[in-house]
Amino acid sequence: MFPLISAHITHKEAPMQDLGRLGDVDPQALLSSLRALPRIDECALLKTCNRVEFYVVSEDQVQAREGLERLVASLLPYDREGGLVRFMTGRGSMHHLLRVSCGLESLIVGEDQIQSQVKECYDLCMRQGCIGKVLGTVFRKAISTGKRVRTETRLNKGNVSVGSAAVDMAEARLGDLQGRTVLVIGAGQMATLIAKHLLGKGPQAVFVSNRTYARAMELAWCLNGKAVRFEQLQDYLARADVVLCATSAKHIVLGPQEVGEAMRIREGRPMFIIDVSFPRNVAEEVRSLPGVEMCDLSGLNGVARENLERRRSEILEAEAIIKEELQLLTARLEEMRAAELLRSVHSKYQDIKLREVQKAMNRLRSGEESERVLEDLAGALVSRFLADPTAAVKMASRCGDSHLLRTTRELFALEEHHVPSGKDEKD
């Protein structure tokens, strides 16, 4: 088994409120906590709106598991930890990461954003000096496998992002977006994805608001919409039939007071709010306001199930590629482990050789007979080289460890020698 262990808190087990709580935690702070665990040789953190995953390499799997459990327990309420976390080891951890990078573990199967998030995770951990040979190999394979799946299959074709799902849900609720007024709050990556799917839907007006006005102007220009300064958000909120909230803020942006005032001005006209922010930016109390229908990431499950059904054949193709790449990754790591073992063996016996040769040189300089010195050197080298294997074989013999005895015979390429009995000999 590879010395790899991982812990996973994802949308499949954890409610969005728990994931949202983790969303408040700074990734670098989480990575520092992970790195500080005892007996950790390498570590990595993958944090997105739908998952927080920890990967560690440690020769002490028991202590690494205990450390991960303590770290997870410090992040989740004591009464919510059970059942929310999956632990994996070795090949299972690697298989999972490859699936994540390919989009098979995403809420919207096949979405592209996760691959760049895996790459960002890898880059951050490399800058922090947390990733070594093992995790470096695993993450590079995950990234390349994600690229291969997207090149060789149609898994990511069509509407396969949280942004597209949000727009689809708005259309499903309202019939279509023709003639509607849409307010997009945020101008980052997620908001841009949503904007991409708004194009061609025919809304009457699109407003984009962001704390950085220049960013809002850029996105509004792409949508042929209007940028709104964040201080003016309340005025335009009252005009919106659909509000798509997708910011990186760590706090509530829209509360019941702001939305309630907007609904008073709307005089009963309904408002549909979709909050795809992580953590949540629209207060839960907004959901109970008359005339307001609200959906967050957890509400996209229906769209996710439909997307899953449509992509059954592509998923099978992707899984075949993942299986092949996992075998290649496993073989590569086995080669690396063997190479590291051989380097250690060569280094150990090189040190023994240097010490014994130095002793022999000193004896020759003192005038001792060279033949005797060489004979003693050869005997000392054989004795030192075989000291540890000899002790191990004796212990195996005493403990009845026949497996080690067979392995020793294979390792030293010893053939079975049978002494012929007298009746088989010919005169």
d(CA 215, CA 333): 44
pLDDT score, position 304: 62
- Is 43 labeled as catalytic in the residue annotation? no
The CATH topology of domain 162-307 is: Rossmann fold (3.40.50)
Q: Check if the beta carbon of residue 50 is closer than 8 Å to that of residue 11.
A: yes
Kindly report the pTM of this predicted structure.
0.66
Sheet containing 205-210: order of strands: 226-229, 205-210, 181-185, 242-245, 271-275, 292-296
Residue among 19, 10, 14, 15 at smallest CA distance from 277: 19
Same fold, 4-158+311-335 and 162-307: no
pLDDT score, position 423: 47
pLDDT score, position 425: 43
Among the CATH numbers 3.40.1400.10, 3.30.460.30, 3.30.465.10, 3.40.50.970, which is that of 4-158+311-335?
Answer: 3.30.460.30
Angle, helices 113-127 vs 27-35, to 10°: value is 50
d(CA 390, CA 404): 12
d(CA 45, CA 34): 8
| Helix-then-strand count for the chain, H and E | 15, 10
CA distances to 48, 146, 388 from 398, rounded to whole Å, are 54, 51, 16
Residue among 94, 170, 172 at smallest CA distance from 134: 94
How far is CA 213 from its chain centroid?
33
Could you state, in order of their start, the residue ranges of all structural domains in the chain?
A: 4-158+311-335, 162-307, 346-411
pLDDT score, position 183: 92
d(CA 306, CA 325): 28
Q: Which residues in the chain show pLDDT less than 70?
A: 1, 15-18, 20-21, 23-24, 77-82, 158-161, 163, 298-310, 415-427
Q: Pick the catalytic residue from 49, 121, 130, 295.
A: 49
Q: Which two tokens stand for residue 303?
A: 């769209």
